[in-house]
Chains A and B, each alone.
Chain A
Amino acid sequence: LRRCLISMDIHHMEKSFQGIKTAVQAKDSFQNITILSASETLYNITSSDVCCMTKDVLQFYVDKVFRNHEESDPRIQRGLSTIANSFLHIRNALEQCRSQKNCYCRKETTSKFQLIVRNYEQMEVKAAAIKSLGELDILLSWISRNYQPKATT
């Protein structure tokens, strides 16, 4: 993300999700399935590929996850809307960055992203959407770590 310097309030999103995390995750009854498969996908991304993976995953959340989820609880709906709007803003900024050739997608990264989509499509649509929403803490933590300066040890 650091080559594609975009402004984002990651902590605002993290706080929004923290307030609804328990309720959203409680709706997901498939504990032994994961969509993001973080250890196989996100945590295996080199820093040069972070921008591309972020853009693709946010696009996935905007186009599929938020679109396929109907939320009846207004408190949860507010939290999810806050995050969805932030994702739209970041995705648009990354799209510009891509057009300036700064957000290049290597084949290896694209295949990791496709694993996420495959995991999603193997589930029933509504269950897949709620599971993906329950994994927002994983995604936001990954973005937060890739966005902040590295520790001086």
Chain B
Amino acid sequence: SAPCFSNGLPKPTNVTFSSVNMKNVLQWNSPESLRGAEVVYTVQYLIYGQKRWLNKSECRNINRTSCDLSYETYDHEEQYYGRVKAIWGKHCSKWAETERFNPWLETQIGPPVVALTPGEKSISVVLTAPQKWKRNAEDTSISMHQIYPNMKYNVSIYNSKTSKKWYKFVINYTLELSLLESETLYCISVQVYVPGPLRKTKPSEKQCITTLKDKTSELKV
């Protein structure tokens, strides 16, 4: 792209990586004073410890304020920097950089897939760990559980009849909720937990299911 003069154009602000299941997106705010102006942006990234900043061709002279760098930051054992500059006509800002980004530590772990099967006085819960972002759809999936072997699940259960809520901690993939009330609507949400430094995790959407009719009570009638 045509050279630009770095002469005092304000820099983009709040340049950070937004990361969920290792899908790593660089995002920023446009400079305050240039809101509304026809500003474009150019992005580069650096693998920590390597010599040169690298261009992201799909994010050269773009007008949106985000750039998906998942492909370039796929190795979650490395650390990275991202940077962006604003360009307005012949003028451009200095680079605005992120802090050092460590995907293994900083990615938000998404919710598991939750399958519920109702019984008369029980609900069977089967969990599937979220998967790491894939470069190509046909690539083999990598479970986030492989990346965080000590991953656990925090299951919240809500009885809509009694408004009572309780939690269960699950280490493997299945949980049998027993001693429930029949013909009762229960709502369940599951959140991943990984011991260690504070990690952001996202709970699953609340799923509600009704336990079956108690056949033994039918026989008594």
Q: Chain B's interface: helix, strand, loop or mixed, by majority? A: loop
Q: Is B81's beta carbon under 8 Å from chain A?
A: yes
Q: Is B46's beta carbon under 8 Å from chain A?
A: yes
Taking a contact as CB atoms under 8 Å apart, the answer to whether A149 and B78 are in contact is no
How many residues of B are counted as interface, with CB atoms below 8 angstroms from the partner's CB atoms? 25
How many residues of A are counted as interface, with CB atoms below 8 angstroms from the partner's CB atoms? 28
Task: Please choose the segment from A27-35, A55-63, A70-78, A101-109 that sits at the chain B interface, where 4 or more of its residues have CB less than 8 A away.
Answer: A27-35
Q: Is B104's beta carbon under 8 Å from chain A?
A: yes
Taking a contact as CB atoms under 8 Å apart, the answer to whether B81 and A26 are in contact is no
Taking a contact as CB atoms under 8 Å apart, the answer to whether B196 and A32 are in contact is no
Chain B residues with CB below 8 A from A138, complex form: 79, 102
Taking a contact as CB atoms under 8 Å apart, the answer to whether A15 and B150 are in contact is no
B150 to chain A, nearest CB (A): 5
Taking a contact as CB atoms under 8 Å apart, the answer to whether A10 and B146 are in contact is no
Q: Which residue of B lies closest to A25 (CB)?
A: B100
Q: Is B197's beta carbon under 8 Å from chain A?
A: yes
Chain A residues with CB below 8 A from B81, complex form: 31
Distance A80 CA – B178 CA, assembled complex (angstroms): 47
Taking a contact as CB atoms under 8 Å apart, the answer to whether B52 and A32 are in contact is yes
The 5 closest A-B pairs by CB, nearest first: A34-B49, A151-B149, A14-B197, A18-B197, A11-B196
18 A-B pairs within 8 Å (CB atoms) are namely: A10-B196, A11-B195, A15-B196, A22-B99, A25-B99, A25-B100, A31-B48, A31-B100, A32-B46, A32-B51, A32-B52, A38-B77, A38-B78, A43-B77, A137-B102, A141-B105, A151-B149, A153-B145
